[in-house]
């Protein structure tokens, strides 16, 4: 805007332009509160201005008010239905809300209203939304189309190999990773390459080399470090908490769709069933502590039989979804072992649904749970079953436990086993995964 034009503008219009510019700069710098107060001030006089609505929508979304943010962005889009940046922003935020079908619609509109130079990035965004829908094949086609023209576009290569790995197309994934790695080396691609190789029989040595290179390029890369430990068969007592946190933060938006629709996950319902059967006549509990509560699937199952319910999880993205359900009286973002060490009350029930898979050696964990349960209180949890060792890591990177080991660890911690039920916990790769639901009672 020229100085001349600014001078011709009425004072309030100049102020408005100034405020918009300031808010945009603050937003780019990551100063969300500063940007928000500049926008809020401007919106007092201009509540329907599309620029301001778009700015406020982005601030709100980044401040955790995702649905209000989307509402603002959608209103702005109605005023400017051909603004590709706005359409893309709305689509990306819809994706964060797991509204993948709607996200795809707006990604397509963004593409249709943009210039060809914007298309590669917009195709990648559309591909990610399609992966959210479970349409990995369609996403693969988009990423490949982008790479055909821009073979060095890393986002496309990383997402292509992730999508191929999800489709279990490991050979194609290896080829795709190697093609881009010949042009540029990035840790994420080495990681995806390692994941693909590790699932092809006889190629563990190459997988190890790929994870090793990923760690050399980025020594803070906990995902590849964890895979290295697994492949080297290093003794592990638990899965590193930063690995668990990162994995579930990434997985959170797909988690429920994945476990309920695809994996037929049954553990929360089984925990409820066996808890209610454990002590005749005991069908309501004063307080429940849900360890590794995730998005709250177990909380949903126990809400009507718990007077007070607290959830603890290390993944903030999982917890955000639990919070939205409104079924917990208290939620805490923490490593559950740390949280248990600082507990300030005794619970009637402690539940841990599909959490022991991340904890190998159980003695210390069970002792801490025992300290958090009231006398006669109950501890209900699931484990996947191992027949080979007290605890071992499966190919899926999770721990399975031997029944007798779990029983001994419970007894040592002061629990009496009330029931052990062998059940199908979920599917994996189309096959049932069996495990056990334990309900134990504190004796001492």
Residues that bind ligand SAM (CB under 6 A): 241, 244, 248, 267-268, 292-294, 297-298, 312-315, 318, 335-337, 353-355, 358
- The closest alpha carbon to 308, from 348, 268, 281, belongs to 348
92 or 302: whose CB is closer to ligand SAM? 302
CB nearer to ligand SAM: pick between 141 and 392: 392
Q: Which is nearer to ligand SAM, 347 or 358 (CB)?
A: 358
Distance of closest approach, residue 353 Cβ to ligand SAM, in angstroms: 4
Rounded to a whole number of angstroms, the minimum distance from the CB of residue 339 to ligand SAM is: 7
Q: Measured between alpha carbons, how far is 232 from 397 in angstroms, rounded to an integer?
A: 13
Q: Minimum CB separation from ligand SAM for residue 248, in Å? A: 4
Instruction: Mention every residue, 6+ apart, whose C-beta is less than 8 A from residue 402.
Output: 385, 386, 387, 388, 389, 390, 391
The full DSSP string for 98-111 is T-HHHHHHHHHHHH
- Report the residue number, 103 or 380, with the smaller CB distance to ligand SAM: 380
Please say which residue, 267 or 349, places its beta carbon nearer to ligand SAM. 267
- Our CB check for ligand SAM shows the closer of 197 and 312 to be 312
Number of neighbouring beta carbons within 10 Å of residue 112: 11
3-state class (DSSP) for residue 418: strand
Nearest to 442 by CA among 388, 375, 353, 394: 375
The candidate with the shortest Cα–Cα distance to 356, out of 386, 399, 393, is 399
d(CA 140, CA 162): 9
Residue 439 and residue 419 in contact, taking contact as beta carbons nearer than 8 Å? yes
Say which residues have a Cβ less than 8 Å from residue 52's Cβ, sequence separation at least 6.
Answer: 20, 23, 39, 42, 43, 46
Closer to ligand SAM at the Cβ: 38 or 331? 331
For ligand SAM, which is the closer residue by CB, 123 or 347? 347
**CA angle (237 as vertex; 236, 243 as ends), nearest 5:** 70
Beta-bridge partners for 313: 333
149 or 396, CB closer to ligand SAM? 396
Q: Is 416 helix (H, G, I), strand (E, B) or coil?
A: strand
First to last CA, the chain: 76
CB of 240 to ligand SAM, least distance (A): 9
Q: Residue 206 Cβ, how far from ligand SAM at the closest point, in Å?
A: 29
CB of 242 to ligand SAM, least distance (A): 10
Considering beta carbons, is residue 292 or 360 the nearer one to ligand SAM? 292
Nearer to ligand SAM, 170 or 265 (CB): 265
Q: How is 194-249 classified by DSSP, letter by letter?
A: HHHHHTSTT-HHHHHHHHHHHHHH-TT-HHHHHHHHHHTT---SB--HHHHHHHHH
Compute the least distance from the CB of residue 351 to ligand SAM, in Å. Answer: 8
CB of 362 to ligand SAM, least distance (A): 13
Residue 14: how many other CB atoms lie within 10 Å = 15
Least Å distance between CB 282 and ligand SAM?
Answer: 22
106 closest CA partner among 137, 74, 138, 131: 74
Closest approach of ligand SAM to the CB of residue 109, in Å: 34
Write down the least CB distance from residue 287 to ligand SAM, Å: 17
């Amino acid at each position: 805007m020229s100085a001349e034009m600014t001078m011709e503008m009425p004072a309030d219009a100049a102020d408005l332009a100034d405020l918009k510019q300031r808010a945009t700069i603050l937003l780019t710098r990551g100063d969300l509160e500063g940007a928000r107060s500049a926008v809020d001030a401007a919106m007092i006089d201009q509540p329907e201005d599309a620029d301001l609505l778009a700015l406020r929508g982005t601030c709100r979304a980044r401040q955790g008010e995702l649905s209000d943010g989307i509402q603002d962005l959608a209103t702005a889009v109605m005023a400017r239905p051909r603004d590709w940046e706005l359409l893309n922003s709305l689509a990306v935020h819809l994706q964060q809300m797991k509204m993948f079908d709607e996200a795809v619609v707006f990604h397509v509109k963004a593409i249709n209203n943009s210039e060809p130079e914007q298309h590669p990035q917009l195709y990648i965004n559309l591909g990610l939304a399609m992966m959210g829908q479970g349409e990995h094949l369609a996403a693969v086609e988009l990423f490949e189309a982008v790479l055909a023209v821009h073979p060095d576009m890393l986002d496309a290569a990383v997402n292509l190999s992730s999508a191929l790995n999800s489709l279990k197309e490991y050979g194609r994934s290896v080829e795709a990773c190697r093609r881009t790695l010949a042009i540029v080396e990035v840790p994420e691609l080495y990681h995806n390459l390692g994941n693909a190789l590790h699932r092809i029989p006889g190629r563990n040595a190459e997988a190890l080399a790929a994870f090793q290179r990923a760690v050399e390029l980025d020594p803070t890369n906990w995902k590849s470090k964890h895979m290295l430990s697994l492949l080297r068969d290093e003794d592990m007592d638990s899965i590193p908490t930063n690995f668990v946190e990162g994995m579930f933060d990434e997985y959170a938006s797909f988690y429920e769709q994945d476990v309920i629709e695809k994996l037929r996950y049954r553990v929360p319902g089984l925990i409820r069933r066996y808890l209610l059967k454990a002590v005749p006549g005991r069908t309501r509990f004063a307080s429940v502590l849900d360890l590794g509560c995730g998005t709250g699937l177990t909380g949903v199952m126990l809400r009507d039989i718990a007077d007070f319910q607290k959830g603890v999880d290390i993944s903030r993205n999982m917890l955000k979804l639990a919070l939205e359900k409104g079924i917990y009286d208290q939620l805490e973002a923490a490593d559950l072992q740390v949280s248990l060490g600082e507990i300030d009350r005794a619970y009637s029930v402690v539940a841990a649904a599909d959490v022991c898979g991340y904890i190998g050696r159980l003695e210390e964990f069970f002792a801490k749970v025992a300290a958090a349960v009231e006398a006669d209180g109950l501890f209900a949890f699931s484990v996947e079953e191992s027949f080979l060792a007290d605890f071992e890591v499966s190919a899926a990177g999770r721990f399975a436990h031997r029944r007798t080991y779990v029983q001994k660890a419970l007894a040592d911690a002061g629990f009496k086993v009330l029931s052990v039920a062998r059940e199908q916990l979920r599917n994996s790769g189309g096959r049932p995964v069996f495990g056990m639901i334990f309900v134990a009672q504190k004796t001492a």
